[in-house]
Amino acid sequence: MVGTGVVASDTLVGIATGSPDGGVAIVRLSGPRARAIAEAQVGALPAPRVLGLRNLAGEAILVAWMPGPRSFTGEDVVELHIHAGACNVASVLELMLAAGASAAGPGDFSRRAFEHGRLSLDQVEGIAALIGARTQAALAQAKRLVAGELGREVEVVRAALEQLRIEVEANLDFPEDVAAADELRWADECQHLQAELERWLARYEAGRRARAKPRVVLAGPPNAGKSALFNALLGRRRALVSAQPGTTRDFVEAELTIAGRELTVVDTAGLRPSDDILERAGVELGREQLAGADLVLWIEGSDQPTRPDWQREREAIADTEVPTIAVENKADLGRQRPTWLGVSAIDPATLEPLRAAISGALGEPGEGWIGLARHRDRAHEAKLALAEAREQLQASAGLELVAFALAQAQQRVGEITGHTGLGPIGATMLDAIFSRFCIGK
């Protein structure tokens, strides 16, 4: 059985193009009867991997025929390029289902690609990440996953673990013959592999950060001109600006590119105690935004004398390790805080140094590890298993326990690519991975 109750020998049909619709939609058939089902509808198929013009229920369509195993899924695949549009696509799917195909569930095509050895799990997850990428950095990392870069790194460690485990297992029958030097070498090897896994884990967060859009949060007292500055950075009137303190209630966020880096900027309510229940709620929302910030612009207006409670707020943010830039807005009205970065929301020329400061404070996105959260989790479990193996070796607790812990480590590392060397991956794990994919993927 593969996902969603479809039998492995079934021929799947699903829409391979995403929404919103473009001009063309691609309906994909995959499985042993793909050719027969398609030919019953459109006549003889064109030569492999050559688009042919055919007629499907009165519509001129293009057909591509990719015989297995040289196809995405590794099975016989037919793709029908039809006019897009929900109704049209649904009617073509209906035709294929009536002709004997089964509806593809989430990730079913990718799952078959994995099960037929076309792609490893990390590569399939890379395709999903590529489709879901919202930043150039995320896209670049996803492409490296698809190209198998992570898989190769993982396979080196998996193979080393396997070799070590086999060597230990070979001594299970005569543990008294094991030389002390061998045990030391095994412990060294465990330590070496554990260090490698720790390097992956240490670089995971940097990789995740590099993929994500940094959040730059504008905060400060009411009337400092946060919203005016927010609008000035965006180059359009997105947030309300007024001379009345307490204008912004809900936080407002927008996408912005600074020095080629995509980021999210967030305007928040001015921080002050208030009797107004809505204003208090707004301040609360603003504080939540501060907690998730990658950079805070603390903004005060040059027409506002600074106050001890503002200073306390600013210092509390600085204590959280989130980088903060102190910005004095309304520099056109004079300066009170000469060490702060002076800007004016009504003078675009002053925004350039602000952009430079934002870009500098965020720093270059670190290279990081391209592994995704699931890969990190497996690497972490493998690391724990290796630590266990080392402890057992040091305690001379018995080679069975060492071999068992090494097998665990090998299993976990192998689950990153789906190739453990210890038998097939469990269906439950595959269900969990592929159920997060979209239908048609």
Ligand X SMILES: Nc1nc2c(ncn2[C@@H]2O[C@H](COP(=O)(O)OP(=O)(O)OP(=O)(O)O)[C@@H](O)[C@H]2O)c(=O)[nH]1
Binding site for ligand X (CB under 6 A): 222-228, 241-243, 245-248, 269-270, 329-330, 332-333, 344-346
Residue 5 C-beta: closest distance to Mg ion, Å: 53
Closer residue to ligand X (CB): 228 or 295 = 228
Residue 362 C-beta: closest distance to ligand X, Å: 22
Closer residue to ligand X (CB): 81 or 226 = 226
Residue 59 C-beta: closest distance to ligand X, Å: 55
Distance (Å, whole) CA 350 – CA 60: 58
Q: Could you say which of ligand X, Mg ion, none residue 345 binds, taking C-beta under 5 to 8 angstroms by partner kind?
A: ligand X
Residue 162 C-beta: closest distance to Mg ion, Å: 60
Distance (Å, whole) CA 362 – CA 217: 12
Closer residue to ligand X (CB): 110 or 231 = 231
Distance (Å, whole) CA 218 – CA 125: 35
Place of tokens 């595959």: 430
- The contact pattern for Mg ion, residues 185-224, with x = CB under 5 A and - = no contact, is ----------------------------------------
The kind and range of the H/E element at 430 are helix 427-434
Closer residue to ligand X (CB): 223 or 411 = 223
- Count of positions on this chain that bind Mg ion (CB under 5 A): 4
DSSP state of 244: S
Closer residue to ligand X (CB): 230 or 369 = 230
Distance (Å, whole) CA 230 – CA 264: 11
Both tokens assigned to 154: 């993982």
CA 229, chain centre distance (Å)? 31
41: Cβ contacts below 8 Å, ≥ 6 apart: 56, 57, 95, 96, 99
The kind and range of the H/E element at 355 are helix 351-362
Place of tokens 């675009």: 348
Q: Are strands 252-258 and 261-267 parallel, antiparallel or unpaired?
A: antiparallel
Closer residue to ligand X (CB): 63 or 295 = 295
Q: Could you say which of Mg ion, ligand X, none residue 181 binds, taking C-beta under 5 to 8 angstroms by partner kind?
A: none
Q: Could you say which of ligand X, Mg ion, none residue 45 binds, taking C-beta under 5 to 8 angstroms by partner kind?
A: none
Residue 231 C-beta: closest distance to ligand X, Å: 8
Both tokens assigned to 410: 């090998």
Closer residue to ligand X (CB): 247 or 324 = 247
Residue 87 C-beta: closest distance to ligand X, Å: 47
Q: What is the end-to-end Cα distance of the chain in Å, rounded?
A: 18
Residue 295 C-beta: closest distance to Mg ion, Å: 18
1: Cβ contacts below 8 Å, ≥ 6 apart: 7, 8, 427
Site for Mg ion in 242-271 (CB under 5 A): 247-248
Site residues (vs Mg ion, CB under 5 A): 226-227, 247-248
